[in-house]
Structure 1
Amino acid sequence: MGKWAKKRAKNTIKDEIYNRLSKLFKAGNGRSRNVDKRNGVDREYIYSSKTYKTYHNECKRFAVWCRKTHPEVRHLKECKKYVNEYLTYQISSGKSPWTLTTQKAALAKLYGVDYASFIATPPRERSKIKRSRNKVSRDINISAETEKFLSTITSATGLRRNELCKITGDSLRYDSSGRPFLHITRGTKGGKIRDAIIMGATQEETDYVVSLFKSAGKMKLLPKISSAYDNHRYRAEYAKRLYQRFARNIDDIPKKERIYLRKDRKGEILRL
């Protein structure tokens, strides 16, 4: 086999992955994931560029492993029978339940099959969350001043990183009671448009965040964010504030409406 023939054979699987996922992403452009999911056709679409990039990278990792472990394979369809073996290897390598879920979802999308078609992976539990729990080495790459500025915005709005990078000042809205909220249309997960109440730790903080959006006008509020900024724990603060704002007294919740938590939070009741 000549040099170029060998190269073509080597790249065939990755090319097939690119072609398959690109087709799904192109087909999903402008579609509603929620509607497609209700209709049971979401398997044939990818709805966001972030999901596309993540799935593409995970599928390429699978292809590299497959070619290394089973060098006889030449085409994507030949690799399908090794997906469970790959997932088993990833489990034994200590990958987190969240990483495993993403890998499994990417491969299910790649082959157009149901997620449950492959072996079960460890459940995602709060006790196994590692991200954003402790300080890591990259934290020293962002100043305390920048961290405070970004965290104030995140904890008051709950915006994801991609949303933070794309949000503009004219996303600011007011409800019928005059309370400020954000109408978020860009960078959202799955392309789903959503509204987010602006809720600072104090009224002064809320007013400060509102003033930032007013000043930005039609411009992006934060066109660039340091890669060292990890906003997950600040989104959690926002979620806690939101929960506390709407939570009811347990005695006021009819028993049939109570939601009892399980596993490590067994015995707790959601008060929404």
Structure 2
Amino acid sequence: MGRKNKTYSKDLHQQVYDRLTGMQAFGESKKAAIADGTAQDKIFSYNTYQTYWKHSKYFVAWIKEKYPECTTLRAAKKHANEWLQEREDQGLSAWTIQTEAKALGKLYGIKPEDPDYFKPPKRHRAEIKRSRGDRVRDLHFSKTNNDELIKFCQGTGLRRSELKSLQGRDLMTREQIEREISRIEAMPERTEAQDKHLNMLRDTRMFDCEYFCHVRSGKGGRERVSPIVGKNVDQIVARIRDTVADEKVWQHVNSNADIHGYRGDYATAIYKSYARTIEQIPYDRVNAGTGRRYQSEVYVCRKDEAGKRLDKAAMLICSKALGHNRIDVVANNYIRAL
């Protein structure tokens, strides 16, 4: 006789795979899903899917070893927080624990505000190890042989995935952008997608430069146009122009290249280009409690960076270039040595 319930003939690995692939909603509007309450059951980015799938497999492997009697996702659920706590006790970074908590939260439909959602440790800037100082991988990376790649990254600020997918057609000039803005603005009616594209193009007016990279699928599937900056602009532009329109600008990106570190160099250069000295920023607001005037456009860093003050306007410009929407992400992860 066969099983009455065929679901349970699948092992845990297959059950997790089916659950996560069933949530794939690549290309759909996350904003619309949040509005109609279906976002919790969907994964909108392929990179996010890959990350959740990877960490969910770690959880399944642990279940099979420690609780082999658990053969269903439902039975394994009660051990999720135990696994996360064990991962924290092993000394894994707060970033990794946060990611794994989100992966299992998505897998089991547990929201961060739910009482049984694992409360991961707080993430602190001082604990960030990526792109800080020399690492073992640096021993296997020649800066001389990869000089053009390094300069390209420092001048464009692209993520690794964006760098790998950049094509010859993705170079845009200021003139091209302004023509496209005029064309869309002249339309008697515009769709929501066209308005979104128009706003993205208008953001380029923040930057005082001539050339841009069109990033068609950034983090979370977001599109943006990022400025090409620095003293190597001509070399970068030549590299893109010399690439056939539908071919990749970089056929190979060295896995040991510190791409995140180069993004930090890019962010810092942009911030310095647009930042005012703190003394130049006006005291434009009044504290209702104390009656004292203060600078609303000054960002005050906290924790290990306590006391450092940054120009919010320059941080916003930097954030747009990097493909982020929050200035605190720029302060905590990219701007350096100020």
TM-score (ref. length: structure 2):
0.71
Matches of 2:34 and 2:310 in 1, distance apart? Answer: 27
**Residue identity in the other structure for 2:28:** R
Matches of 1:9 and 1:39 in 2, distance apart? Answer: 32
Matches of 2:21 and 2:275 in 1, distance apart? Answer: 43
- 2:216 paired residue among 177, 185, 201: 185
- 2:269 paired residue among 241, 258, 269: 241
2:327 matched residue in structure 1: none
- The more displaced of 127-136 and 115-124 is 115-124
Matches of 1:10 and 1:101 in 2, distance apart? Answer: 32
1:122 matched residue in structure 2: 121
* Equivalent residues of 2:26, 2:46 under 8 A apart: no
Is residue 195 from structure 1 mapped to residue 192 from structure 2 by the alignment? no
Is residue 93 from structure 1 mapped to residue 90 from structure 2 by the alignment? yes
Matches of 1:44 and 1:88 in 2, distance apart? Answer: 25
Q: Deviations over 1:54-100 (max 9, x none)?
A: 11110011111122222221110111121111111011000001111
Is residue 270 from structure 1 mapped to residue 269 from structure 2 by the alignment? no
Matches of 1:133 and 1:258 in 2, distance apart? Answer: 26
Matches of 1:97 and 1:48 in 2, distance apart? Answer: 22
Counterpart secondary structure, 1:58: helix
**Residue identity in the other structure for 1:191:** G
2:169 matched residue in structure 1: 170
Matches of 2:158 and 2:271 in 1, distance apart? Answer: 16
For structure 1, the 5+ residue unaligned runs are 1-7
* Equivalent residues of 2:209, 2:227 under 8 A apart: no
Compared with structure 1, are the counterparts of its residues 78 and 184 closer, same or farther at alpha carbon in structure 2 (3 Å cutoff)? Answer: same
1:5 matched residue in structure 2: none
1:3 matched residue in structure 2: none
Number of paired residues? Answer: 259
**Residue identity in the other structure for 1:198:** I
Is residue 216 from structure 1 mapped to residue 208 from structure 2 by the alignment? no
* Equivalent residues of 1:172, 1:182 under 8 A apart: yes
- The more displaced of 12-21 and 138-147 is 138-147
Counterpart secondary structure, 1:152: helix
Is residue 133 from structure 1 mapped to residue 135 from structure 2 by the alignment? no
- 1:54 paired residue among 32, 51, 55: 51
Matches of 1:149 and 1:122 in 2, distance apart? Answer: 39
Is residue 82 from structure 1 mapped to residue 79 from structure 2 by the alignment? yes
Is residue 258 from structure 1 mapped to residue 298 from structure 2 by the alignment? yes
Matches of 1:260 and 1:144 in 2, distance apart? Answer: 35
Matches of 1:173 and 1:217 in 2, distance apart? Answer: 15
Spell out structure 1 runs of 4+ moving beyond 6 A. none
Matches of 2:87 and 2:132 in 1, distance apart? Answer: 23
Compared with structure 1, are the counterparts of its residues 246 and 135 closer, same or farther at alpha carbon in structure 2 (3 Å cutoff)? Answer: same
Q: 1:9: Cα distance to partner? A: 6.9
Matches of 2:66 and 2:120 in 1, distance apart? Answer: 21
Q: 1:220: Cα distance to partner? A: 1.1
Q: Deviations over 1:161-199 (max 9, x none)?
A: 11111101211112257611111103x111100111101
Matches of 1:43 and 1:54 in 2, distance apart? Answer: 16
1:66 matched residue in structure 2: 63
Counterpart secondary structure, 2:250: coil
Q: 1:209: Cα distance to partner? A: 0.8
**Residue identity in the other structure for 1:252:** I
Q: 1:39: Cα distance to partner? A: 5.7
Compared with structure 1, are the counterparts of its residues 41 and 97 closer, same or farther at alpha carbon in structure 2 (3 Å cutoff)? Answer: same
Matches of 1:229 and 1:235 in 2, distance apart? Answer: 11
Matches of 2:68 and 2:14 in 1, distance apart? Answer: 17
Q: 1:116: Cα distance to partner? A: 4.0
2:11 matched residue in structure 1: 12
Matches of 2:163 and 2:237 in 1, distance apart? Answer: 14
Name the structure where helix makes up a greater proportion of residues: 1
**Residue identity in the other structure for 1:213:** I
Q: 1:132: Cα distance to partner? A: 1.9
2:201 matched residue in structure 1: none
Quote the RMSD (CA, aligned, Å): 2.1
